Structure 1
Amino acid sequence: MRYVVGYGPRQRGVDGVNVAATLARSSGATLDLVSVLPSDAPTFQRYSPDQAFNAELDEQAREWLRDGLSRVPDDVTADSVVQRADSITQGLLDAATDPDRGEAALIVVGTYHRVRSGRFGLGSLADALLHASPVPVALAPAQYQAQPGVSRITCAVGLRPGNEALFDNAVRLAGEWRVPLRLMSLVALDEDATSDGSDWVRAAEEHAAALVDSAAQRLPAECSVSSIIGRGESLEDAVEGVEFADSEVALVGSSRLAAPRRLFLGRSATKILRALPVPLIVWPRD
């Protein structure tokens, strides 16, 4: 199993490595640190300005990757790859779906972009991946510090159909990583301003209880299963009312508008992302 980690010289590259290392400590995955360069410029001479420029870019990328590898903890195995592509997004997707290396289990990227520590700031790269990737994408909050491993998975579950793949994979990961699973339902009162939201809360509690029973039957006893209902005037408020440990990760699914085996970050997931203080894995639709 391998994770593709987008790496560059800025803080978001460091954040991505730290999240990938935390996940790898629980999963046993190896890391492929990938630096993407523009596709080779055309050249028709053995020695040309284009060739010299490409060689200089290649050496710069390898220097960045050496820096990235130096940040990987000793107990995590990592390699580096210089990928040529027309865009950084396409380069990471190509690296993740390389038939010679096998499909990556995750693409991991940092999101540091004019946000305070512990929050997400989606730039063009993360946004593009979240609307095109065929494999799950893990996002690192700003200034994230590597943890000894994942201590718990919190999976966002809703009442609408279409979350089956997300739930199944959350259960699978909890079992493989031998960590507790928490199922999180969020109730935003502004969605039903005519009531106090008690009907929504009751429905969320009943749905979560059924999922807890289902997950508990499929997981070993050491992997406890629990549920929590976040409630607020908005989805962001509901998320902020839920406590998270620094060493846990959250999972959300793609929008129902997503094509099969593709990510598409929907409106609700985007709101959740704004308020989360921990790494987030976005799962494609089946």
Structure 2
Amino acid sequence: MDHVRVVPGLALRRARVLLLLGPQAQQAEHTCRGEAEGGRAVTVLAGYAPGHRLSGVLELASAVATALDENLLVATVTPPRWNVPSLARVDAEFAQWAEQQGDETLAEARSALERLAPELPVSYRRVDHRSASSALLSIAEETSASVVVVGSCEDGRRGWVELGSTSDSLVHSARLPVAIAPRGYEGPGPGQGFSSITCAVTEHDAEADAAIIAMAAYLAGRAGVPLRLVTFAVRLGTMYPSYVGYGVEDELADAAREHAETLFARWRGAGVIADDVETVVGLGHGWRAAMDSIAWDDAGLLILGSKPHGTLSQVFLGSSATKIVRHSPIPVLVLPAG
């Protein structure tokens, strides 16, 4: 199969995640990056906003850092000082308020992480910027971060991934992996990593899917947790009136499920996935039902890839990936394309 032969090349182009998983590569990455934030190399960046305690970002960031055996940098972004001074010194009062908000946010994060991951090396930073996503990407580039972790918006549904302005901007522009926590995410437990990894494929690009599977398998093996492969056969609404029969949508869904099972079998035969890897097809009337048809591990992680858009090695979610993210009940790690 042609897509099997290109997996190594595709995986190398996504080496930002893959290289982090090997001890020799970790040492090389630390050497290239140098020392930062109090003498420790920073690899996992978490964006924590004031008043977003239920976003789940701290719980997910500590789990990611624990799983990768890396340090954690927590950053909060506050509004910048006004460009035009105020005669009434309102600008100075605003700057003082913003600084106080940032300091209180970091103190809140520090208190939470002392409970969540007391042994995890954590550093903190406050930065003034008009755009939280731009600030996080700037910090990520400066520190050579391996992944940026964000939470769901505060007004979203508890227990589900809800993209806010910052997370939505990141998943459409970042050149590094982006991890998103469901609102209210409690994590796998203090000092614990993930207990399972699920890799979602959309079947739109066999070569890209094979590369994503290879990385998910490597990560699962590195963490010593089981890997599961999922795809989805979403049943559309019944056409009315129908000239092709009222059961045609069911027939299409059944055909999609059979196609997915055939693809899984081909991947097993080609060695893309091991014989012990569980494969599941989510089937339902709409994406919510299709996602709900699958049993999810609360301490698990969902991995999926993005599609190329503009600059290579950039995260950009296609329509199917976007729906998977928006309906996921567990944290999602989105890998950049290319």
Question: TM-score, normalization: structure 1?
Answer: 0.86
Partners of 1:117 and 1:142 within 8 A in 2: yes
Structure 1 position 256, deviation (Å): 4.4
**C-alpha distance in 1 between matches for 2:166 and 2:55:** 15
Code of the aligned partner of 1:199:
A
Structure 1 position 185, deviation (Å): 1.2
Cα distance change, pair 198–53 in 1 and its aligned pair in 2 (3 A): closer
1:151 corresponds in structure 2 to: 195
> Which structure: greater strand fraction?
1
Code of the aligned partner of 1:210:
R
**C-alpha distance in 2 between matches for 1:11 and 1:85:** 18
Report how many residues are paired: 275
Partners of 1:2 and 1:31 within 8 A in 2: yes
2:226 corresponds in structure 1 to: 180
1:104 corresponds in structure 2 to: 145
Query: Partner of 2:272: helix, strand, or coil?
Result: helix
1:210 aligned onto 2:263: no
Structure 1 position 51, deviation (Å): 5.4
**C-alpha distance in 1 between matches for 2:166 and 2:256:** 36
Code of the aligned partner of 2:50:
P
Cα distance change, pair 177–10 in 1 and its aligned pair in 2 (3 A): same
2:10 corresponds in structure 1 to: none
Code of the aligned partner of 1:214:
V
Structure 1 position 272, deviation (Å): 1.4
Code of the aligned partner of 1:190:
L
Partners of 2:307 and 2:316 within 8 A in 1: yes
Partners of 1:183 and 1:228 within 8 A in 2: yes
Partners of 2:260 and 2:281 within 8 A in 1: yes
Structure 1 position 265, deviation (Å): 1.9
**C-alpha distance in 2 between matches for 1:200 and 1:13:** 37
Partners of 2:236 and 2:285 within 8 A in 1: yes
Structure 1 position 209, deviation (Å): 3.0
Structure 1 position 65, deviation (Å): 0.6
Which runs of 5 or more structure 1 residues have no equivalent in the other structure?
Answer: 218-223
Report percent identity of matched pairs.
Answer: 28
1:280 aligned onto 2:323: no
What does the per-residue CA deviation read over 1:165-214, in whole Å, with 9 as the maximum and x for residues that have no partner? 42232122212222211110111132972725332212101212333542
1:255 aligned onto 2:307: yes
Query: Partner of 1:250: helix, strand, or coil?
Result: strand
1:197 aligned onto 2:197: no
Query: Partner of 2:302: helix, strand, or coil?
Result: strand
What are the residue-to-residue correspondences of 1:1-286 with 2, within 5 Å?
Answer: 2-11=43-52, 15-42=56-83, 50=91, 53-72=94-113, 73-98=117-142, 101=143, 103-147=144-188, 148-161=192-205, 162-190=208-236, 193=249, 195-212=251-268, 213-216=271-274, 225-257=277-309, 259-286=311-338
What does the per-residue CA deviation read over 1:7-26, in whole Å, with 9 as the maximum and x for residues that have no partner? 12323565100111122222
**C-alpha distance in 2 between matches for 1:56 and 1:234:** 46
Please say which of residues 245-254 and 23-32 is displaced more in the overlay: 23-32
**C-alpha distance in 2 between matches for 1:121 and 1:104:** 23
RMSD across aligned C-alpha pairs, in angstroms?
2.5
**C-alpha distance in 1 between matches for 2:222 and 2:127:** 31
Partners of 1:7 and 1:13 within 8 A in 2: no
Cα distance change, pair 187–14 in 1 and its aligned pair in 2 (3 A): closer
What does the per-residue CA deviation read over 1:93-145, in whole Å, with 9 as the maximum and x for residues that have no partner? 111111xx2x2111111113333321122221111111111111111111110
**C-alpha distance in 1 between matches for 2:55 and 2:118:** 16
Partners of 2:235 and 2:250 within 8 A in 1: no
Query: Partner of 2:230: helix, strand, or coil?
Result: strand
Partners of 1:236 and 1:274 within 8 A in 2: no
Cα distance change, pair 245–118 in 1 and its aligned pair in 2 (3 A): same
Cα distance change, pair 282–83 in 1 and its aligned pair in 2 (3 A): same
Code of the aligned partner of 2:304:
V
Partners of 1:33 and 1:79 within 8 A in 2: yes
Query: Partner of 1:75: helix, strand, or coil?
Result: coil
> Which structure: greater helix fraction?
2
Code of the aligned partner of 1:234:
G
Q: Which has the higher Rg, Structure 1 or Structure 2?
A: 2
Structure 1 position 40, deviation (Å): 4.6
